Amino acid sequence: MAAEITKVDGATVRDDFNAINAVLHYTRAAHFIGLWKSERELITRYLPDRNARLLEAGCGAGRVTVGLWHQGYRHLTGFDFAAELVEQAQNLANEQGLKDLTFLQADATQLSACHILYDKLFDGVLFMFNGLMQIPGRESRRVAMRELHRVCRPGAHFLFTTHDREDPKDVKEWAKEADRWARGEQNPRLLEFGDRYFSDENGNTFMHLPDRKEIFEDLAATGWRHIHDRTRDELASETPAVRNFSDNCRFWVARKG
């Protein structure tokens, strides 16, 4: 009997991030790449108060949270659902003797299960390097956006990134993918048009690529107000190390209330 093909779900993604190649990849980034210029530029523009209580969702091995500590922020909490990455983030902070930052294992779609976060109110929240789009299923991404909204004070900013499905260089590829979906010949593990699930030297990666309309609808449906968006390349000229680590992406800034 043929094995049943299952859709990618949160457990698949968590297992992929806990796998050795992914852990090495994100740990190297946390140790040797740190904050990108574009991230620094947007963070200091929208979260200028170094005393702000900031929450980083999908903190991985600590690249952004530890980078924020070095920018002078002192009330930092990072969480990730991949235990192996959280351990790496904690090791990095310990190695550098950093205090005043907290790393937790938690799932962005189930924050109410995390007692430490339950009654906290943050001044800002970040979900960088496309982590939000690595949640399979639009409704689950909306659950995460609502959960992050719930743990923020009114006026808090939410910064996140996506890959652009409407990038002109990819239009032909997406047209071919639309034909595959129309014929029912897409990868059966995908949930929605715009999803990708691929393997490379860093392991397996699930990623949803949204269009603009979808992000506007999801922000409105989860209580966030769109403030600003720009591509990384519009914001800054990144070093070769950053460009090797990641393709261009779009930064979004939203506000609670």
Ligand X SMILES: C[S@@+](CC[C@H](N)C(=O)[O-])C[C@H]1O[C@@H](n2cnc3c(N)ncnc32)[C@H](O)[C@@H]1O
Of the listed pieces 46-54, 92-100, 103-111, 168-176, which binds ligand X according to CB under 6 A? Answer: 103-111
Closest CB 176 distance from ligand X, rounded Å: 25
Closest CB 168 distance from ligand X, rounded Å: 24
Of the listed pieces 107-115, 166-174, 175-183, 229-237, which binds ligand X according to CB under 6 A? Answer: 107-115
**By the rule CB under 6 A, 13 interacts with ligand X:** yes
Two tokens, residue 219: 């922000």
129 vs 197 by CB, closer to ligand X: 129
Rounded CA-CA distance 44/29 in Å is: 21
Q: Which of 64, 93, 219, 242 binds ligand X (CB under 6 A)?
A: 64
Rounded CA-CA distance 57/70 in Å is: 18
66 vs 215 by CB, closer to ligand X: 66
Compute the CA torsion angle 98, 40, 153, 78 (nearest 10 deg).
Answer: -40
Cα atoms in the 13 Å half-sphere on the side-chain side of 137: 12
Rounded CA-CA distance 35/121 in Å is: 24
Partners of residue 123 on adjacent β-strands: none
**By the rule CB under 6 A, 128 interacts with ligand X:** yes
Rounded CA-CA distance 169/12 in Å is: 29
92 vs 135 by CB, closer to ligand X: 135
Residues that bind ligand X (CB under 6 A): 10, 13, 17, 26, 29, 57-60, 63-64, 80-82, 85, 107-109, 128-131, 134-135
